[in-house]
Chains A and B, each alone.
Chain A
Amino acid sequence: MSSNSQFSRKQKGGRQVRRKVEDVKNLSITSLLDVLTIILVFLIKNVSMEAVKISELPDMRYPTTISTDKLLENATVTPIKLYLNEVILGVENLTLGTPQQLVEDGETRAALQNFLTLDFAAIPEEKKSDACLIVQADANLPCGYITQIVSAGTSVGYENIYFATLEDVDWLRTYSSASVR
């Protein structure tokens, strides 16, 4: 009796009458869908197919600039990342060595030259003039290392060399006020 007491009870005539089971209300996911739609639109707007090549690296301190230049359209890009203790080449992220080795070690320089030559040779002839070398370097690096990279790039044939920076339109004002203090 106790087992079906919830759903049925015997009436006088012995006929069982089922009790109406209350409908379980569906969880409304409309508001969640709205939020997801907004996020989706935001993400689609900000997504970049070039992300691998010129995205901000989390463990690098970039110099800041007021002016910015646009990357050439449909350009073939070769990125070079210079950390304080490591040089990384290309989209394949090949480790070349340390920045010091770029200056002191002839073999490292030859390897850099070789990499850039092969990378430039792989670019179709009609796109060679638009080939871009992007230098992503730590702001605290001495320029001697940058010079080595730029020298190797121009000698191979790269006509467009870009320095990756972060945009800060107020850097001059903040720098001036900081230097006065």
Chain B
Amino acid sequence: MVSATTAKVLRARRMLRRSLVGAALVMWGVSTLADDAPMQAPAAPQPVAERVQVLAARIVVRAAPQREARALAEVERGRQLPVLAREGDWFRVRYGTTPRAVGWVLRERGAYDQATVELLDGVAPSLMPALDAALPESSPLGVARPGGSTVRAPVLPLIDPSQVSPPAPNLPRESVPLPDRWRIMQALGFGFPWFDPYNQNVLKGDLPLTRFGPDIFFNGIAVSDTLFEYRTLPNPVPQAVSFRPGANDIFGRRQQHVVATTLLAGFSVVRGNTTYRPPDWEFRILSAFNYNHARASEAGVLRIDPTRGRGRQDEFVGIQEFFYDYHLRNVSDRYDFDSIRVGIQPFTSDFRGFLFLDQALGVRLFGNRLNNRLQYNLAWFRRLEKDTNSGLNTIFKTPRHDDTYLANVYFQDFPILGFTVQGTVLHNRNRETRDHYDTNGFLVRPALVGDVQPHAYYVTYFGFSGDGHLFWLWDRLRLNLSTSTYLALGRDDRHPIAGRAQRIFAGFHASEISRDFDWIRLRANLLFASGDSDPFDGDANGFDAIFEAPQFAGADTAYFIRQGIPLIGGGAVAFSGRNGILPSLRSSREQGQSNFINPGLQLYGVGADFDVLPQLRVTVNASYLRFMNTTVLGVLRQERDPHREIGTDLAIGLQFRPFQNQNVVLNASGSMLVPGRGLRDLYGPDQGPLYSTFANAILAF
């Protein structure tokens, strides 16, 4: 979110003020020397140093310590010459390998006020690369950071012998007038087609819109996402009409397929110095056009009217982002800042999207402190109604009566280096007491379950998350950890299943531990979401999120996460919504209300990512899933509590990026849920595995 890398930025800015072409750091170091520390006459006599290094482009070695002495040789920049003796500014050096290759060089001011040679104080000559990094913090050459310690005494950098000589600014032919620093390449004669996003492009925010100002940038966004999906799901047979004579049960055929394409188009306008400090303001709009076609093997599944057939076509235009971001102020020399963003904006509540990941309408105050080590968000969001079949924001309907207030803090390198922790307090107030039907005619709020009475709930989540490396802790193991823990407290004024007010008390924990072995990453996943043991009592102990989109345990490649399995015969609810993991028995992940009377979940998983080629990643996952408590399932279907075992989810995903970038991404996945005893109790012992396969192509400009 907050992305200013201030130290680097500052250094680079100073460098650029001095240089037209963005020269090497060495030059800056040298010129700093010239600026800040006029050369001092060395104190004589001194013990003989080992070497001098040639800093001038070339110097002449003379036979005697006099300017008029016979020239013996020329030595080029960067050479290091062993010093044999010294007289004042003259050094007697060995410039060759033969015994006779000995002569005198003079230390004096040369071009740019730079010394012709400089004494090396016992530094090994092999340290030329990593010039900056090799210098310890106490080095005199340490970069003076804004807000840091005072400027230290400069010392000469080592010079890379292979480096091109810096230009001489005082030579007129090397100075080219430019409209701004972003057009250097054009000024040098390079030209790129207007549509080329890989080079500087005015459409992609690389160059300012000079007509409006030197620091107004435009960034156009165009993404196409096309999906083909085939899945098997338990489908109910329509109750009131028959399309398939002989379908005599409540469960019908299971196949469904979907073809969908989404075109995202939008732009942002930014005022600022695009690269080096946070922009002053930004306006962004992102619209999405979706076309989808779905077909199920039973009628009444995709649309409530069974006589409208088994297929469904729909299209929708949604606004996914529409916000204005204003940079309130900088609070430190390192561009720690406060900023405010108003409008429809993306937000993720934690590292993995367990609780709230949405493009919601809201106001968010955010910023950072402590040199970007601390980042904070204070926000209010009101959820927008989603279009049922595309999942896109509907802006022409009244926003939902669902508010989320949150405060969170990210702290980097805490408690250990390489690890970021986050603390969150998030309050969700839902007062949706009017019926809402989705575009297919199904009641989504309240869910068609229990006594279907409208209800409101107020729940506060206390969360603690962490993400990063545990190298510092256990260096040898080189483990990565991503973890989230939530406690949900609140009340539901009258839950439709319980028929009474509920105290909400529920917990959630998820962890992923991973380790990289070269091109392989191995992962182990664990997830617990508490379940409710007695639907009729006054406590709701099942955990539910606000709007989850978990990037966990295979995410959308895994069957149980990708597909929402309907609880047929127990109300119009599903275990987990599409792209959700919590089996919270909502009517819909996008449009339904949270439900804290649910069976909960346990997930134990392993997985691996294989970067088989630079272009190809293969991801595999296996998860074993169980409910925490199935009483609510038994109650809703008025049958004995099903077994807690959901089953084993096996998934494989392929990601192919032919150009090794995000502009063309091809994904494919296949997953299979092998039903455990619980699903066999619910849908029959002979149903066989459930499948979910898809392929999608993302093309981005």
Decide whether A and B are members of one complex.
no
